[in-house]
Chain A
Amino acid sequence: MTGTFQILAPAVVSPSDRAVISGPTISSAGWYNQASGLTTDAALIAALNNENLSATSLRGATTLNETIDYSFGLVPNIISLDGAPPISYAGLPPGFTMLSAQVDFGTSVVVLSNAGGPTVCNADIFFNFMGQQVPLNTTSPAGDSFPTQQIIVDMSFPAPTMLDLMNATLNIDVTTTTNNAFISSPNSFRVSSVVITGTYSADSFQYSLETPSEPVDAGDPITATSPDVNGIDYTLVTSVTIEYPGGGPIVVDPSDWITIEANLFTFLMPSFGGDEPPIITVSITSTQFSGSVTLGQLITIYFTSASGLYRLIPSQRYDELYIEDDPGETIDVKIPNPFFRTGFIGG
């Protein structure tokens, strides 16, 4: 399954230097005026939904730098898949893999004040996201406008995951300068929208972990398979870990991966040291999908080195044993023919 996603709103917006500037209000509709402080973070958030955003203004200073940082949380419902109501990162479907992502910065307009005579103004705007940058510059006395800019996320190896995107910060950096600190009108900047979109796939992979028929001990081979179609490609596995209640994870050393084929994977059971867990879980990570996939569970009562306690209980008339195929469950069996013998009679 493939589709498109869009991040509709950030969790945190951090406009810096908001309180630095003082001066009259710029009242242009839809503009964010840090000088006045009249616009709340909601306006910044709304920019992700195709609404105007103004990032900076300048008055009474020769140089001013303004930045706005978007950060995205994993908990809020901010990811829309195929136009559906937004869900959280944790709510993404199993196997969600980001195939591409981009940020579209809408039409930008910078207005520079040329009032008051021989004023020279300059504006530098930088859009930054996931290590890429789009710079804009104008020295036009009255400012300039720029068409839509785009940052396409680099998906080359190692391809970033959706988690990487969610943890990234989207930054807008605006610096304006002037040689006239006493101009009557402030400079300003706005961008019509900031839209983060991408494509994804959500494939469910099939796999199976073969349950050994013979007793298993450290060093014994464990085999996992997958079907030819829609199966896990074991050649893309990056790590194998074994976990069990109260211990682990134990990482299976890659040198113990004895068979690595697309549909067949065999590794050697690592040593558990002094632990004898009743059941273990085998998980893998891969470049084929995000996160880890649990291949299955093994009942480690098969471990030949397993030991137990035999407790003598008065009036106990049967032995209580664990069932190999049903972890945690017990079965009552007879004590093997309890008996006694008298001493020998006869000389």
Chain B
Amino acid sequence: MAKGFTGELIHFNATRMRVIGEGSLNQTFYGFDDINSEVLPSYVITPTAGPELSVLANFRDQHGQLEVSVDTIDEWFNISKITIFVKELASGYPQS
């Protein structure tokens, strides 16, 4: 959990993780109640460690969580580190 945010609008702009596995790794950002979401490009993972790929994102919300999944039989993953790149865009939503 990133510290210091208190309702600010956040830009989730990339992910990077140390992962091994087999198959194609899927990532999706979700906001509260899954109202907002963004599917990130998937990429192939292997059982041996390779480069930690940065996957660009363009998800903007006051809150965000990352879902990581696989969706085909025999696919698996093992993640030992996740880095999520975020940047404050605005201090908050103005009253409309």
Are A and B genuine complex partners? yes
Question: Which A positions have Cβ atoms within 8 angstroms of B?
Answer: 315, 317-318, 332-335, 337-347
- Which single member of A318, A343, A347 contacts B73 (CB below 8 Å)? A318
Q: Could you tell me if A337 and B69 are in contact, using CB atoms closer than 8 angstroms?
A: yes
| Chain B residues, CB < 8 A from A332 | 73
Number of CB contacts from chain A to chain B under 8 A: 71
- Which single member of A317, A334, A338, A342 contacts B82 (CB below 8 Å)? A342
Question: Which B positions have Cβ atoms within 8 angstroms of A?
Answer: 1-2, 4-8, 10, 12, 30, 32, 61-76, 82, 84, 86
Q: A342-B82, A342-B84 known; A347 and B68 CB under 8 Å?
A: no
Q: Could you tell me if A339 and B8 are in contact, using CB atoms closer than 8 angstroms?
A: no
The CB with the most chain B CB atoms within 10 A, among A317, A318, A345, is that of A345
Q: Could you tell me if A341 and B30 are in contact, using CB atoms closer than 8 angstroms?
A: yes
| Chain B residues, CB < 8 A from A344 | 1, 32, 63-65
Chain A contact surface mostly = loop
| Chain B residues, CB < 8 A from A334 | 71-75
Q: Could you tell me if B73 and A333 are in contact, using CB atoms closer than 8 angstroms?
A: yes
List of 10 A-B pairs having minimum Cβ-Cβ separation, nearest first: A339-B69, A334-B73, A346-B63, A347-B6, A347-B5, A341-B67, A344-B63, A342-B66, A337-B71, A317-B74
A323 to chain B minimum Cβ distance, whole angstroms, is 16
Closest-by-CB residue of A relative to B63 is: A346
Q: Could you tell me if A345 and B10 are in contact, using CB atoms closer than 8 angstroms?
A: yes
Q: A344-B63, A345-B84 known; A317 and B76 CB under 8 Å?
A: yes
**A317 to B4 alpha-carbon distance, docked (Å):** 39
B75 to chain A minimum Cβ distance, whole angstroms, is 7
